[in-house]
Every structure is written in C-alpha cells, then in structure tokens.
Amino acid sequence: MYRLLDKTKGDRWIWLIVILLSVISLLAVYSATGTLAYKRGVANESILLKHFFMMVGGGVLMYVSHKLDYRYYAGISKLLMVVTIPLLLYTLLFGNHVNGASRWVALPGGLTFQTSDLAKLALITYLARTLSRKQEHIKDVKQSFIPIMGSVCVVFILIALANLSTALMLFGVSILLLIIGRISVKQIAVVCLAGAVLLTGVVLLGPRRKTYISRINTYMHPEKVDNDKSFQSDHSKIAIATGGIFGKGPGNSTERNFLPHPYSDFVYATIIEEYGLFGGVFIMFMYLFLLYRCIKIVTKAPKAFGALLAAGLSFSLTIQAFANMAVAVGLGPVTGVPMPLVSMGGTSILFTSVAFGIILSVSRHIDENEVANVAKKKIVVGEILEVA
C-alpha cells in the first residue's frame, strides 16, 4: 500500500476526493440498482461487481495518465480531434438509437461507447494546445480565431444533434477557456453568436426538436403538462423532500423503484433520500473543493498549456456535476447528464478518470519543478558558503 502511495504523485487532496467519490458511487449504485437487476433477471451484486471493475479500470487509466508528462497531451490532442469528428458523424448516422437519440457506438462483447465523452476530452485538450501556442498571434483572425471557432462550432453541432445538454456544457467550458486564453471580447462575442444560431437551429429544426421543446415546456410550465412528462422530476423532488436532514439510511430509498435512472441521471436524488441534507451538501463540497484545488494548480502552472488544460478539465467536471444536481433538485430541465465518478456508467467513468489523471499530471509537474528549484537553491547556498 505504501509503495503504491509513493508512486502516486500530484495533489494528494485530489486523490482523496477521487477515493471518496468512488466509495460514495459504490454505495449509491448498489442501493439504486435493485429494480434494474430485477428487470434484467440478475443478482444486484453482479451489477455492482461490473461497476466496481469499471471503476478499477478507470483507476488504472488515471494512474497511467498522471504518470505521463502532461506536455505529451498537446500532440495527442491533434490525433484526438482527427478521430473525434468522423466518430461523431458515424455515431449520428449509424450509432445505437436509445430514446430517440444516437449517442452510442456498439463495441464487441455487448459494450457501448459514448463518443461525446471522447469529444469533450479532445476539444478541451485541443483548445488548450491551440491557445497556448498562438499567444503571440492570439488576436489574428486567420491564424488563431478561425481554427478555434471552427473546432468549437463543429464539435458543438455534432454533439448537440443527439445530446444538447452535453454540447451546451462543453460550449460553456470552451468560452471560459477562450476568456482565460486572452481571446478578444469581440471574437468571443462572435463565437457566442455562432453558438446561439446553431443552438436555435438544433432546437427548432434538429431531429430531437420535439423532445427538447417538450422538456423546456415541462420545466417552465409543469402545471400545464401531463403527469407522465413530469414523472421523473416529480419523483426526484419526492426523494429529496422525504430524505430530510439525516436521510432514511443506506439502502432505504423508496423512490429508486420509481425513478427511471436512480443510479445515473438521478443518483443525487437517491443519495439525498438515503443520506439526507448532509449527504447532498457533502457531495457539493467535494466538487467545490475539487475546483478549488484545481484553481491552485492553474495559478502555479509554469506554462500556459498546463494551466489551460487543468482549467478546462476541472471546469468541465465541476459544471457537469452541478448540472446533474440542478436537474435532481428541479433547477433545470431533465437531461441525461451523469455525475462524474458517482453515477454508474461505462465510458463516462473511464474518460472522467483520464481527465483526473491529466490534471494530476500537471500537478505532478509543478511539484517536481518546486523540488528541483529548492535543490538548486540549496546547491547555490552551499557554494556561497564554501567560498565564504
């Protein structure tokens, strides 16, 4: 155990956050998958075991990602973008259709792969690379602005056609990176305008326009819609209301039997029902503390690429987590956004783990530089004392 801890580098608090969220995930998924196990005709423990192995796989990926020098991700980002765009197109045309959305690509062995998870990682790393390398010509429209705007808009529209909530969050993270990367206000306004036009087209003309409009109407006017349309949000609110301050206790949720996805989209409602207000606040604190630790990494990063990389990935993880919480408590329309490292999932857990690994890689590089600088200062002081 000590040997393993000795080999893990980077911010220790982030490692602790990952471990705590993983433990919470195992408890929540085990409690919330009883109905799912019954429908599939399998034991509840088998679903938990599969989830556990997926988290172990994510831990391995996080460890490998944090050992790799973060500067290598600049080159990897180009390859990821080359792969991501055709893969998103393929998913739209030939992917598995679930609930009217084509978000997954079937893999051998009955597994599925959600391409938007790869797209988030690809776009954030690519933007960090482009913004850091074009700082001298950052306001040049041809050299900097057009490639940046093109990549953001293309990825946004390809994801939005099947998964609008994920596309909007990724677009928001991209805008934050443009602000940090010193893109001019006029150029950011142009990107926002282009995004608004694309968003309007997707909502009014896209293949899922009826679903999007229905969800917005249900959220804005719940009293005017059928109970079937507000079923998920109603039972999520019931779970939260009955949880009280201290909750019903682990495994005692009742709304898990009514909520369609109590182990993923509405896992936050399940946690509050079982662990009460304290459990919900604790989850919020974990993600806020994660953002705080990542901001410290951003401020200490010696290179622009490392700072932008850590900022983009941490914003993405935090925004996604709070979007999941907002849907559960009724502060937003129903979406299919999982809570990072807590919700049950496949590719979501794996790519979230890689994102954590990259952040830790930046942190590890900072720590190594600080140790090297201290060593240099000691050598210089020693030489001065010898001369004296």
In a domain, 284, yes or no: yes
What is the spatial distance between Cα 203 and Cα 301, in angstroms, rounded to a whole number?
39
Structure token pair of residue 173? 């993270």
In a domain, 379, yes or no: no
Question: Which of 300, 308, 298 has its CA nearest to residue 130?
Answer: 308
Helical packing angle, 267-300 and 347-387, nearest 10°: 30
How confident is the model over 15-51, as pLDDT tens digits? 999 999 999 999 999 988 888 888 888 888 888 898 8
Encode pLDDT of 156-167 as tens digits.
998 888 888 888
> Where is average pLDDT lowest: 112-116, 150-154, 354-358?
112-116
Cα 201 from Cα 224, distance rounded (Å): 26
pLDDT at site 1: 43
> For helices 115-133 and 304-329, what crossing angle results, to 10°?
140
Q: Considering the domain boundaries, does residue 335 fall inside one? A: yes
pLDDT at 355: 94
Q: What is the structure's pLDDT at 378? A: 63
Average pLDDT rounded to a whole number, residues 78-99 = 83
Q: Is residue 280 part of a domain?
A: yes
Share of the chain above pLDDT 90, in %: 33
HEC string of the chain? CHHHHHHCCCCHHHHHHHHHHHHHHHHHHHHHCHHHHHHHCCCHHHHHHHHHHHHHHHHHHHHHHHHCCCCHHHHHHHHHHHHHHHHHHHHHHHCEEECCEEEEEEECCCEEEEHHHHHHHHHHHHHHHHHHHCHHHCCCHHHHHHHHHHHHHHHHHHHHCCCHHHHHHHHHHHHHHHHHCCCCHHHHHHHHHHHHHHHHHHHHHCCCHHHHHHHHHHHHCHHHCCCCCCHHHHHHHHHHHHHCCCCCCCCCCCHHHCCCCCCCCCHHHHHHHHHHHHHHHHHHHHHHHHHHHHHHHHHHCCCHHHHHHHHHHHHHHHHHHHHHHHHHHCCCCCCCCCCCCCCCCCHHHHHHHHHHHHHHHHHHHHHHHHHHHHHHHHHHHHHHHHHC
Confidence at 373, pLDDT banded by 50, 70, 90? low
The yes-or-no verdict on residue 196 having pLDDT over 80 is yes
Which is more confident, 207 or 17? 17
- Paired tokens of 159: 């994801």
The answer to whether residue 355 is domain-embedded is yes
Q: Are 160 and 199 in contact (CB under 8 A)?
A: yes
Q: What pLDDT score does 231 carry?
A: 76
* Average pLDDT, integer, range 62-89: 90
Domain presence at residue 367: no
More confident residue, 247 or 109: 247
Residue 169 within a domain: yes
Rounded Cα distance, 20 and 296, in Å: 20
Q: Which domain holds residue 320?
A: 2-362
Band (pLDDT 50/70/90 cuts) for residue 186 is confident
Number of domains in the chain: 1
Residue 384 within any structural domain of the chain: no
